[in-house]
Amino acid sequence: MSLKSSQLQLNQQGQLRHFLGIDGLSRELLTEILDTADSFLEVGERAIKKVPLLRGKTVCNVFFENSTRTRSTFELAAKRLSADVLNLDVQTSSTSKGETLYDTLRNLEAMAADMFVVRHGDSGAAHFIARNVCPDVAIINAGDGNHAHPTQAMLDMLTIRRHRAGFEQLSVAIVGDILHSRVARSNMEALRILGCPDIRIIAPRTLLPVGIEQYGVRVFNDLRVGLRDVDVVIMLRLQKERMQSGLLPSEGEFYRQYGLTSDSLALAKPDALVMHPGPINRGVEIESAVADGPQSVILNQVTYGIAVRMAVMSMAMAGQTTQRQSSQGGQ
């Protein structure tokens, strides 16, 4: 799957053309995304927060699922790149009338957009669109089912890299609802590719997917054991909307066993980073004193997310342009 995925995402020159998932991408490409995002952080500090890289281009945010934070950061990223932006709340329109994903795609193409940022509840939806879309349109996956959330993973990697020298000496713990988390899957892949030697997964057995060991992680069912001496703690939101009954006895019990509190955080290294993709369920996954405390970089993640999405969008559009020029030159 990784080979096919990378072939779909890259052009003939090895540049990013779509951004659908982390799987199959090289360490060099992930590092290029992080380096490019680093360069865009300065744009957010300017009086005029714009660069002309996507001037004249149209970006469609196509969200089949709600996500105010992800959609707004993609919109802001596109506008900072000087693109025109169209937000389409598809969940309340076409698909509810029986239109298929393929039909929706054809209608979107008729709008002559240059890039679709897609969030969908079905795993693989972004890959389906990338395989079927006309050649000149770039597809960015803003989250598909339980499968992948690659821009979230890359903003998490940027957050870690800006607060730590590198990945090669780190211990990183991912805690909570692994079973339903596309963020966890993408983070595990990104950390592995970037050379993190100790990736720990901490969760109750009912919230662990089958075969998780294939990601090269260590699995812990005891929070206190798993957190010992880690450098980074990534907490996950309980995906209650995706859960079947019986996976958890109660939210209160989950918090007692797996919630990140000041006491449990003390088991990690004294300067351990605390992260969360949001939105936070305070008192369910994390204590307010920890979420708002000195080790938390949760708000930094939001800031870095804009820069990462600018990087991915600009790189994908450049890759599309190179692909188009190469195809025209061969005719």
Residue 46 labelled as part of a binding site:
no
Q: Which two tokens mark 120?
A: 């969908």
Q: Tell me the C-alpha distance between 107 and 133, whole Å.
A: 11
**How far apart are the C-alpha atoms of 55 and 59, rounded to whole Å?**
11
Does the annotation flag 135 for ligand binding?
no
Please give the Cα distance from 126 to 147 (Å, whole number).
10
Sequence-distant (≥ 6) Cβ neighbours of residue 245 within 8 angstroms: none
Q: Is 71 annotated as a binding residue?
A: no
Q: Which two tokens stand for residue 39?
A: 């360069």
Pick from 187, 257, 188, 196: which is nearest to 222 by CA?
257
Is 283 assigned a ligand-binding role in the annotation?
Answer: no
Does the annotation place 303 within a ligand binding site? no
Establish whether 279 is an annotated binding residue.
Answer: yes
Is there a binding annotation on residue 15?
no
The Cα angle at residue 324 between residues 320 and 328, in degrees rounded to 5: 170
- Is 204 annotated as contributing to ligand binding? no
Q: Report whether 97 belongs to an annotated binding site.
A: yes
Residue 278 marked as a ligand binder: yes
Q: How far apart are CA 155 and CA 2, in angstroms?
A: 21
Residue type, 78: A
Residues at the binding site are 69-70, 97, 119, 149, 152, 182, 237, 278-279
Residues at the binding site for L-aspartate are 97, 182, 237
Residues at the binding site for carbamoyl phosphate are 69-70, 119, 149, 152, 278-279
